[in-house]
Amino acid sequence: MKSNQANRVKAKKEKVRVLVVDDSALVRQTLTKVLSTDKEIEVIGAAADPYIAASKIRDQVPDVITLDVEMPRMDGLTFLKKIMSQHPIPVVICSALTEAGAETTLKALEYGAVDIVTKPRLGARKHLEESRMRLCDTVKAASKARVRPIRATDQVAVSRYTAGTLPVKKVSRAMLRTTDKVIVVGASTGGTEAIRLFLEAMPLDAPGIVIVQHMPEHFTTAFARRLNMTCRVTVKEAEDGDTVFSGRALIAPGNRHTSLSRSGARYYVEVSDGPLISRHRPSVDVLFNSAAKYAGRNAVGVIMTGMGDDGAKGLLELNEGGAHTIAQDEATSVVFGMPREAIKLGAVDKVMPLNAIAGQVIWECGRKG
C-alpha cells in the first residue's frame, strides 16, 4: 500500500510544471487545455502579463514557461532577459505564425529561450493533432534543457572564442576542390545557436551543406536570413530544386521535408510535403536517409542537440554507407537526446564538443577516399 502511494507521489512530482504567459485569455485557455492532454505535463498557472507571471513564479517556480513576445506593460523579450539574467528557467516562445514576428522570436533564442512553437491553430483534426504533439513535445524537451544566465557580453565572447579556436582557415582551397563532399546536419532543441556557431566557423569555400533544424514555417526564412548576414558561406532557406554547391548552406523550410538528390555530378534538394516522420516535418531522418542513398561515402553527417530520436536511424544508414558521422557531446548540448540515441545505435564515429565539430568536418571533407 505504502509502495503504491509512493509511486503515485513520485509520478506526480515528475510531471513537467508549466506556467503559460500570454495576454490573450483565449490563447491562455487553449494552451492550458492542449498541454493538459499530456499526462506528463501539469499547467500550474497562467498569467496575462510578465508582472503577474513574476508574482506566480515567486510562489511556485515552474519547470518551463511558455511565453508570448508581444504583451502589454512589459514585452516578452524584456521579461525573458530578466529571467535569464536573474533566475534561469527554460522558456519556450509561443508565437503567432507570421514572418514579421519571426525576427523578434529569433532574438528571443539569442537571449536564452530554448525553443519556438507556434500557437495552436483551429482547423482540420490532423493539423490540431500535429500542433498538440509539437507543443507538448517541445515543452517536455525544454524541461530537460540546460539553461544558464545570459550576460550582455555572451554573444561577442562566443563568436570571438569560436573564430579563434576552430582550425578551419588552415584548410587549403585545393584540398576542398579535390572532393565531392556534402555535409548534412540535423538539430532540434537548442540547435539554432549550435548551427549558428557551426556555420560561422565554416570557410567561404566549405563543401555544400544541407541542414534540418526543427522549426516552424516562416521562422526558417528569418533564421536563414540572419545566418547569411554573419556567415562566410551563403545561407538560404531551401527551395525545391536548389543546387548544393561549395560555399552554400541550405536550411530546410519549416513544415516541409527536405531531402538530398543527385543528377550526374550535381547535388540538389527536393522540398516536399508529407506525413510527420519521427514525429517531425521536416525530419532529420528524411535528410540523412536521402544523403545515404545519393551521397554515401561522400557525405559527412552531423547530429546536434535535440530531444527525441529523429536522425538516429538515418545517421546509422549514413554510417553504414561509408559516410563519416559526428555527434555533439553531452556537455555542450542543450538537450542530449538526439545525439544520445544515435550513439546508442552505433551510428557515430566521433563524439565532439560543439566548438570542435566544424574543424573536424572540414578535415574529413579534405580527406581522399
Output the DSSP codes for 197-220: HHHHTS-TTPPEEEEEE---TTHH
Amino acid at 108: A
Q: In what order do the strands lie in the sheet with 243-244?
A: 243-244, 266-272, 257-263
Give the orientation angle of helix 191-200 with respect to helix 219-230, to 10 degrees: 30
What SS3 state is found at 318? helix
Grid cell, residue 336, equals: 542530449
Contacts 24+ apart (CB under 8 A), 233-238: 233/199, 233/202, 233/203, 233/204, 233/206, 233/209, 235/199, 238/210, 238/269, 238/271
Say whether 188 is catalytic. Answer: yes
Which of 275-299 are b and which e, b meaning 16 or more Cβ less than 10 Å from the residue's Cβ?
ebbbebbbbbbbbbbbbbbbbeebb
Catalytic member of 38, 68, 310, 329: 310
Say whether 310 is catalytic. Answer: yes
Give the orientation angle of helix 354-366 with respect to helix 191-200, to 10 degrees: 50
| Segments in 60-110 forming alpha helices (H) | 76-86, 99-110
Going by C-beta distance under 8 Å and a sequence separation of 6 or more, which residues neighbour residue 35? 18, 20, 41, 43, 66, 135, 136, 139
Grid cell, residue 54, equals: 513574476
Catalytic member of 131, 188, 259, 283: 188
Grid cell, residue 209, equals: 551543406
Catalytic member of 38, 68, 95, 214: 214
**Residues marked as catalytic:** 188, 214, 310
